[in-house]
Structure 1
């Protein structure tokens, strides 16, 4: 198992904090730094794992800060942006039509319509005609039961 420099350790910790799997992290280290590490070695840099409990405090702190930032900032994830998703769906629909795969193109167009119509959100707006309030009518009925007819 090779001894890793701080820049490699930082890369591993930040990748794990962004919910990358140890296997993906090991592959990333091989591609970025040309260093072979096992997924177990990568996993040992996760302070939430049983292997990561002996991790140095600076790496635990980096993990915590990176994880919090990752969870709060969705702008770093391109597909979290509606415009990016629509652009990619447009490319896929065009490609499907070129390939004469009209069923796939139709499904992609349906997905675009749902995306534009807000089907993929939790936000729902209810309104009446022309955006006005929904008219409500309340009917109250009072029923009097004579004491001699009550069940005892």
Structure 2
């Protein structure tokens, strides 16, 4: 278990608050600080996990504040939400997966949808000349009513036929 400085602990806490997995945090810690930590050691800094139940209040507050900031950020701050970034990623995938015809077709289709604004189009449904849609309610025809005398004159087969057709 590696001994961590406060800045490294805060880095782990902020990363976990941004919904990174412990494995991703382990990889980032190795890249940025050249420290080997285990996923279990990283989980200790997540107050939402059982392993982080004993996390000091100072670190729990940092986690909660970082999560609040992360969720409150505007959508344009998220790298993958930008069309240009999405197109670049899809383009790189297309070049690397050129031999896989099925995947290449799907990637090309996805690129076309982004370029043509497929996800941004909004369809407005209106009536004639842009007016409101007319609604018409059908009046159900009332069933013909038979008097007891009329029913007495009918044969059982006729009564059955009227019942089946819904006229009785």
TM-score, structure 1 as length reference: 0.73
Q: Which residue of 1 aligns with 2:142?
A: 144
In the TM superposition, residue 133 of structure 1 has moved relative to its aligned partner by 4.2
In the TM superposition, residue 37 of structure 1 has moved relative to its aligned partner by 1.5
Distance 1:109 1:128 in 2: 33
In the TM superposition, residue 114 of structure 1 has moved relative to its aligned partner by 2.4
Return 5+ residue gaps in structure 2 as ranges.
149-162, 164-168
Distance 1:40 1:54 in 2: 14
In the TM superposition, residue 11 of structure 1 has moved relative to its aligned partner by 0.5
Aligned partner of residue 2 in structure 1, secondary structure = coil
How has the CA–CA distance of structure 1 residues 105 and 76 changed in structure 2, closer, same or farther, with 3 Å as cutoff?
same
Q: Does 1:125 align with 2:126?
A: no
In the TM superposition, residue 75 of structure 1 has moved relative to its aligned partner by 3.1
In the TM superposition, residue 70 of structure 1 has moved relative to its aligned partner by 1.9
RMSD: 3.4
TM-score, structure 2 as length reference: 0.67
Contact 1:47–1:53 (CA under 8 A) maintained in structure 2: yes
In the TM superposition, residue 14 of structure 1 has moved relative to its aligned partner by 0.7
In the TM superposition, residue 147 of structure 1 has moved relative to its aligned partner by 7.3
Q: Does 1:114 align with 2:113?
A: yes
Q: Does 1:77 align with 2:75?
A: no
Cα offsets for 1:12-37 (capped at 9, x unmatched): 00111112121221222122112222
Q: Does 1:43 align with 2:13?
A: no
Cα offsets for 1:69-125 (capped at 9, x unmatched): 2223233321112232134435555x47xx68776554333212323212xx7x852
Contact 2:127–2:133 (CA under 8 A) maintained in structure 1: no
Q: Does 1:13 align with 2:16?
A: no
Between 128-137 and 6-15, report the one with greater CA deviation: 128-137
Distance 1:105 1:75 in 2: 28
Distance 1:38 1:126 in 2: 53
Distance 1:24 1:81 in 2: 22
Contact 1:127–1:133 (CA under 8 A) maintained in structure 2: no
In the TM superposition, residue 129 of structure 1 has moved relative to its aligned partner by 8.1
